[in-house]
Structure 1
Amino acid sequence: MAMNREGLIKTVVPLILGVVAGILSFLITDGIRSRDPLGIIVLVLLIYVNKFLLPKLDVNLEGKDWAAISFMAFAGWYISWTFLLNI
């Protein structure tokens, strides 16, 4: 049961932080295309937040987990930011 809890946390938390990064990227760049790199920096910073947040939730992280965590955060960021840019 603990493995399922850890797997769920490793999926949901980065996804939520990715969506938050997408919203922050939209608000910071204000839809201006020349400021896109700033939106990517927001994503990288929120992926880094996972390093401190996940151990506080009693999740054991291994080296291979970071690829999945980064991808989930990227997917949430990309989908939410693209959605907001097209509204």
Structure 2
Amino acid sequence: MSKQNPKSKYRKEPAKTTGRAAEKPVAKVETPEKKSFIKERTPEEKRKEHRDGIIKTVVAAVLGIIAGVICFSLYGTGEDRQWYAILMIVIGLTYFIQKLIYPPIKIDIKEFKFKDWFYVEFVIIDFFLVTWTLLLN
């Protein structure tokens, strides 16, 4: 075995401190706070987003109820149809109907993301299925 060189980087010695240095408190290094890039919304913007959310939900619910009533009147129990085809037709038609409805009521559809479209279509499908089921009973 070979001896380690005193300047070897693998050999670590504890730092020697004097009595005075050990008594002094360690100064804390202040790090600059990370700035968040989240835009603060004004109360007016919050109210507008809340109002728009309510309108989107109500429009989706009404479209779902209308789709349920129409499917009940056209297909009745729907035994002779494939259920997933009916769902795809409802999703497709209500998507385009919403694209026509929202601009006149001052809701910007350009700001819609996938999450928003998924939410309103989910509400439509829920109301559609519940309405159709209630009418079948």
TM-score by length of 1: 0.84
- SS across alignment from 1:35: coil
Q: Does 1:84 align with 2:135?
A: yes
Aligned residue pairs total 86
Counterparts of 1:1-80 in structure 2 under 5 Å?
A: 1-37=47-83, 39-40=86-87, 42-44=89-91, 45-61=93-109, 62-63=112-113, 64-80=115-131
Return the structure number with greater relative CO, CA threshold 8 A, min gap 6: 1
Q: Does structure 2 conserve the Cα–Cα contact (< 8 Å) formed by 1:28 and 1:39? A: no
**Structure 1 unmatched runs, 5+:** none
Please tell me whether Structure 1 or Structure 2 has the larger radius of gyration of its CA atoms.
Answer: 2
Equivalent residue letter for 1:67: F
Separation in structure 2 between the aligned mates of residue 28 and residue 36 of structure 1, nearest angstrom: 14
Separation in structure 2 between the aligned mates of residue 55 and residue 68 of structure 1, nearest angstrom: 18
TM-score by length of 2: 0.56
Shift of 1:41: 5.0
4+ long deviations beyond 6 Å: none
Larger relative helix fraction:
1
Shift of 1:14: 0.6
